[in-house]
Structure 1
């Protein structure tokens, strides 16, 4: 039997293990932490959004990668396949009102327990507290454990070591130096799916820090999203921000700052809004006109005053246009370790079509440690599992 070593026990590593087992390989899984899939469990603590039910071509459009390899893998193992896989584990799923897919049990822990049990029944061995430290001079895998150094021989290795956020759960990016020393190019890590920094005034923070800004639309470049955001001490946070985060990050990288446009009234056309504002009582203050005619709540009015320094334009058409595209200067992102995910990692140029490292034969890389990006909404987990399945099967079949 071909011996496959999987290093990392998150969704990408576990799916690689399952795919290799299905090809008849002997699989050993090595995990640095005391238990498996800690980030997966944390992600599912308040409801495991494992995939998205939108049409496959829409799903594929969510991924930012340099060529078609990732999209091909996701197409081969997409949301429908994930639902069938869950069903086979006796963990049925449902589609929420937003199109997101969740297990009926909602939590990640029941699914993970059944998954690990199934892998063990098929012969997979899980070794925890085994931190990978590279290769020995003889080409053996080297691990540090509580009982000292351990060396392991394998026919193929699949690295599923995560990105560089949530280091307390195991994704610390320390593997990057090991691979760099073997000639593997690593794209710089960047925080993704995270909050952004906006220089709020003391006045706004004293009155509205922590306040939600509901039912708005965001625009950055050609990317748009809808939902709610939250005013934080450092700027803006929440899921509505994540679909435009990649474009924000690129603009920050090239220019040092970026302009995020917020539509405070996305369900009202600009001309209709201007008409309502023009018909408002001219004796009212501008704040009252915004409240009554534009139907803005206190925090939205405060954001308008923040941008205009307390002097919004008096012309109805001008203020309507401003409410539909209120500009905020973004100066940076949240710290790397606070991000839900990271972009950057192993360059796609360093990988062949099966995700094997060109510089290190019979060694594959999967999941978030590879340089790609996607918003939250089930897309991250879907791609991680699709990559694991592809690499696991390829490693087991390779001669």
Structure 2
């Protein structure tokens, strides 16, 4: 077996939280080793960047804290919030812009230039990186391509992700090891996920089609935006925005939601247009001319059952098309997860109460947030917070 390696800070996991932790700890002079079981770093971040990397939200810190739903994350987000994320991006040579919804993107729209610049900074700061290196448990050698390596670290930061997109590195397998140590965990649940629906055959022909300019209402929540029809149900930004509320309200028989297919028109205005004589027009043509509904929206309208003939009732249907969600999509398909290491298991530095000097960050922690830049902001913030605390702990252990 190769000789033991001694470091100040061991970081397990090379996603956004782990890399952020390594960056801050090494900048404070700590000798840092990052171990990553996948062949390369930041694989989930790179996948997210394929459709345009939404790095943060140009919003107040208070808004971001509220979106993350865990007040105990507030100190971390106040220390590294949306403005700090943008400054950090610029510091890595990445030009950014803010979209109309307040979402912040790199001009390149991809994650790869950011990851390359970040990796170069870490290398310049002396951070060591082992890929294809598997953490096997507390006080157990790291399994590397060259065999087991014993790493002796003054402090350790775990940033191994949640339990979604296992093929990119975060499978949640660490949870069993943590539970065996008596560390308090909240069960994993899917977050920012799609839902199953039993579509009719005509509706299945629209699989892959986006539904734009729609309001989704469910479980006391509502959001305007767009989503996508899938063969199994629905997914997309408007669905993700209410997914937590739907998940919590869903029973064994599913949950009824409704769609407003004409959110920019009032019920009275629709009723007025639908009260006009139909003449010789077909119902579909009449509805298209009177309401503008066609294509996938027309299909959704019919999915709600036989169409009422009376104008007011038909307008009410357009403003509230009923759909029955059957179940959430599987955990591994979710963009993110709820659950993980609880607030009770941690001190204010994100160190495990059961193991002082061992810190956790990112999606391993029990929090969730909607898409739109909140997820990455909180991962970076908690990673940096843990990195600074781990470096301080290591310095005191010298």
TM over 0.5: yes
**Superposition TM-score tier, normalisation by shorter sequence:** over 0.9
- The question of 1:69 aligning with 2:72 is answered yes
Structure 1: distance between partners of 2:95 and 2:210: 33
Given the two structures, how large is their TM-score scaled by the length of structure 2? Answer: 0.93
- The question of 1:354 aligning with 2:349 is answered yes
What stretches of structure 1 move > 6 A for 4+ residues in a row?
A: none
Identify the residue that residue 20 of structure 2 maps to in structure 1.
Answer: 15
Residue in structure 1 matching 2:334, options 322, 333, 339: 339
Structure 1, 292-301 or 29-38: larger mean CA deviation: 292-301
Q: How many residue pairs align between the two structures?
A: 389
1:256 CA drift (Å): 4.3
Q: Are 2:7 and 2:152, in contact at CA under 8 Å, matched by a contact in 1? A: no
What whole-Å deviation, never above 9, does each CA across 1:160-199 have from its counterpart, x for those lacking one? 0011111111111111111111111222212221211111
- Equivalent residue of 2:307, what SS? coil
Q: Give the direction of change, closer, same or farther, for the CA distance of 1:72–1:222 in structure 2 (3 Å limit).
A: farther
Task: After TM superposition, list the pairs within 5 Å mapping 1:308-327 onto structure 2.
Answer: 308=305, 311-327=306-322
Structure 2: distance between partners of 1:313 and 1:282: 17
1:127 CA drift (Å): 1.1
Identify the residue that residue 114 of structure 1 maps to in structure 2.
Answer: 117
Structure 1, 103-112 or 216-225: larger mean CA deviation: 216-225
Identify the residue that residue 39 of structure 1 maps to in structure 2.
Answer: 44
RMSD (Å), alpha carbons? 1.8
- The question of 1:99 aligning with 2:102 is answered yes
Q: Are 1:51 and 1:378, in contact at CA under 8 Å, matched by a contact in 2? A: yes
1:345 CA drift (Å): 1.5
What whole-Å deviation, never above 9, does each CA across 1:257-288 have from its counterpart, x for those lacking one? 12222110111111111111112426645433
Gapped regions of structure 2 (runs ≥ 5): 1-5
Q: Are 2:219 and 2:249, in contact at CA under 8 Å, matched by a contact in 1? A: no
Identify the residue that residue 175 of structure 2 maps to in structure 1.
Answer: 176
Q: Are 1:182 and 1:360, in contact at CA under 8 Å, matched by a contact in 2? A: no
Structure 1: distance between partners of 2:220 and 2:32: 44
Structure 1, 56-65 or 31-40: larger mean CA deviation: 56-65
Q: Are 1:83 and 1:92, in contact at CA under 8 Å, matched by a contact in 2? A: no
Identify the residue that residue 245 of structure 1 maps to in structure 2.
Answer: 243
Structure 1: distance between partners of 2:366 and 2:124: 33
Structure 1: distance between partners of 2:258 and 2:343: 32
1:315 CA drift (Å): 2.2
Structure 1: distance between partners of 2:271 and 2:299: 19
Structure 1: distance between partners of 2:277 and 2:11: 66
What whole-Å deviation, never above 9, does each CA across 1:37-81 have from its counterpart, x for those lacking one? 11111111232110111233322222133xx11233223211110
Identify the residue that residue 236 of structure 1 maps to in structure 2.
Answer: 234
Q: Are 1:280 and 1:289, in contact at CA under 8 Å, matched by a contact in 2? A: no
Q: Are 1:286 and 1:312, in contact at CA under 8 Å, matched by a contact in 2? A: no
1:336 CA drift (Å): 1.7
Q: Are 1:223 and 1:243, in contact at CA under 8 Å, matched by a contact in 2? A: no
Q: Give the direction of change, closer, same or farther, for the CA distance of 1:384–1:280 in structure 2 (3 Å limit).
A: farther
